[in-house]
Structure 1
Amino acid sequence: MERSIITDQVHPDLETALREIQKMGYRSVELHNVFGKSIEACTDEEVSQIKLLLDRYGMRVSNIASTICFLCPLYEGDEVSLFNPSFFAIEGDLDTHFRMARRAAKIAKQLGAPNIRIFPFRYPDNRKGPYGSEKDFETIIVAMKRIASIGKEEGVVFVLENCPYSHCPKGEMTLRIIKAVNQESLRLLWDPANSFRAEKDLVPDSYKSWSLLEELEALYPYIDHIHVKDYRFRPELAKPFEHRILGEGEIDFLSLFDFLKNKGFSKAVSLEPEVDPEGAIESMIRLDSIL
């Protein structure tokens, strides 16, 4: 397995992050927040600068963590907003996101990244859940078929992430979309912690039965990238899912990584710890230990 980490989890300044990541012995990074914007919004000049920095510190890119189809209304009248102002994201209608998918493809090829992260549409502020109805799936699948076509034309792979702020927080839900689209240019980015913290009231009952290991077993043939972070559930808090340093939460990563090792998984597992920089560094050490 290839160890990786999202650069802005270590430091918002790309060069500072790369320097620290190199010290930890990592040689692979994922790019999201760069130069105060989401990676797919970077100019050609900024991409050239990124390439120079990657070469300087001997880093390859495991994934272009774009925000395509995140802040994009699934239906007319849906209102979507950011859950975290430090999480940079592009906005606009679906045609805008399709254009940015081509832009992300160009950037991925320039930086030698094997795939590009996309989302199954942010759930709206003005419409109550649960989300993931049959109509939701039909609408998302149409959009994903278009993105898969862009991927095929551009010679890149898009990876769909299960996200707790989207219509598809569970891996079982994104798996359904991947199977329906059935194109090699659309694969899965699996985030087990996102499945773990999916809000039960927002998920249809039919997607609540699998354990994380059962989810991994079903998703495995379609996974091209994995995100890693940890949570502890604290019901007394207003926001009960508390980010923790890897290994200090409740997710059984040992079982998940044992499965991946036995399968010979050779693609990237990329840290997105969502803790302070010191905690991110400690999470890198602990990922080394687990692997």
Structure 2
Amino acid sequence: MNWHIGIISDEISQDFEHAIKVIKELGAEYVEVRNLWNKNVTQLSDSEFSEMVSIVNRYGLRISNLDSFVFKTYLNDEKGYNQHLRTLRRVIELTKKLDINFTRIFTFWYEGELKYYINKIMDRFYNAIEIAESEGVILAVENEHSCMVGNAKDLRFFLDNIKTKWIKVLWDPGNAFVARETPYPYGYELIKDEIIHVHIKDAMVRDGNFVWMPIGKGMIDYKGQLSAIKNKPYVISLETHYRNSNNDAEESTKESFAGLMKILN
């Protein structure tokens, strides 16, 4: 197997078992869990979490990682920050139950150019890194166009400043594109040695607006990007975001998955 392919379940349905069924039918081997049964995975009770795991096991799939919303809050929101640290502790606790070695994290809502905020962000990350180190779980920073670190250039700057082995990269070429970067080859080359997980979604500019597209139908060089990460040990997770004309999440994910498979084949 040259690639480890996953799908984020809520891009199909909030009905978790139905989403798992679809992922199994499509032929992906991993599920990435973010929101299910209309709540974030960190908000599940212990019994709901067990039920989630048993559904995944029943269909013979594997969980690649759990997605919290940690640090999708404002830099100066003290109450939000403390709540997010609690959420981080919870997602790490659940992550360790699954023997997974990383969890996804963000870099606070965008307020301006990163260089003006980097010291404050590093301050805010100090506690998170301390928690990660004590628990032995890596923080995978996702480049998110609505956050302070939106593309690979930002990621590189952030990593060079924060300098810790407890932070790696969740690389999202689609988000980088929307954050006005050429994801491949330019962005990827900046951070390729730090990647621990990948999100795949495609996009284009139509009439001056960014629009999500099925994989292979947008402006991102996924042929180049995917061949560059062939045989890498990490999971490539489909995070469609694209919606067809009927706004049907499941069909849109299937269409995107078909586009991904076409490129991989």
What is the TM-score of this pair, normalised by structure 2?
A: 0.90
Give the residue type in structure 1 aligned to 2:74: P
**Identity, % of aligned positions:** 27
The answer to whether residue 135 in structure 2 is matched with residue 133 in structure 1 is no
- Residue 211 of structure 1 deviates from its aligned partner by 5.5
Residues 140-219 of structure 1: pairs in structure 2 closer than 5 A = 140-198=121-179, 212-219=184-191
The answer to whether residue 228 in structure 2 is matched with residue 269 in structure 1 is no
Count of matched residue pairs? 256
Equivalent position of 1:115 in the other structure: 102
Is the partner of 1:246 in helix, strand or coil? coil
Structure 1 residue ranges, 4+ long, deviating more than 6 angstroms after superposition: none
Is the partner of 2:91 in helix, strand or coil? helix
Residues 1-291 of structure 1: pairs in structure 2 closer than 5 A = 1-70=3-72, 72-76=73-77, 92-123=79-110, 130-134=112-116, 136-198=117-179, 212-236=184-208, 240-261=209-230, 264-275=231-242, 276-291=249-264
In the alignment, the residues of structure 1 paired with residue 67 and residue 99 of structure 2 have an alpha-carbon distance, to the nearest angstrom, of 13
Is the partner of 1:67 in helix, strand or coil? coil
In the alignment, the residues of structure 1 paired with residue 46 and residue 120 of structure 2 have an alpha-carbon distance, to the nearest angstrom, of 33
Equivalent position of 2:245 in the other structure: none
In the alignment, the residues of structure 1 paired with residue 131 and residue 137 of structure 2 have an alpha-carbon distance, to the nearest angstrom, of 8
In the alignment, the residues of structure 1 paired with residue 165 and residue 112 of structure 2 have an alpha-carbon distance, to the nearest angstrom, of 30
Q: Output one character per residue of 1:69-95: Cα deviation in whole Å (capped at 9) or x when no partner.
A: 01x210259xxxxxxxxxxxxxx5211
In the alignment, the residues of structure 1 paired with residue 196 and residue 162 of structure 2 have an alpha-carbon distance, to the nearest angstrom, of 16
In the alignment, the residues of structure 2 paired with residue 61 and residue 137 of structure 1 have an alpha-carbon distance, to the nearest angstrom, of 33
In the alignment, the residues of structure 2 paired with residue 189 and residue 53 of structure 1 have an alpha-carbon distance, to the nearest angstrom, of 26
Please tell me whether the aligned partners of residues 64 and 104 of structure 1 are also in contact (alpha carbons under 8 angstroms).
yes
Over 3 Å counting, the alpha-carbon distance change for 1:243 and 1:175 in structure 2 is same
Please tell me whether the aligned partners of residues 56 and 62 of structure 2 are also in contact (alpha carbons under 8 angstroms).
yes
In the alignment, the residues of structure 1 paired with residue 34 and residue 227 of structure 2 have an alpha-carbon distance, to the nearest angstrom, of 28
- Residue 232 of structure 1 deviates from its aligned partner by 1.6
In the alignment, the residues of structure 1 paired with residue 84 and residue 134 of structure 2 have an alpha-carbon distance, to the nearest angstrom, of 16
Q: Which runs of 5+ in 2 are unaligned?
A: 243-248
Please tell me whether the aligned partners of residues 9 and 31 of structure 2 are also in contact (alpha carbons under 8 angstroms).
yes
- Residue 235 of structure 1 deviates from its aligned partner by 2.8
Please tell me whether the aligned partners of residues 231 and 244 of structure 1 are also in contact (alpha carbons under 8 angstroms).
yes
Give the residue type in structure 1 aligned to 2:76: Y
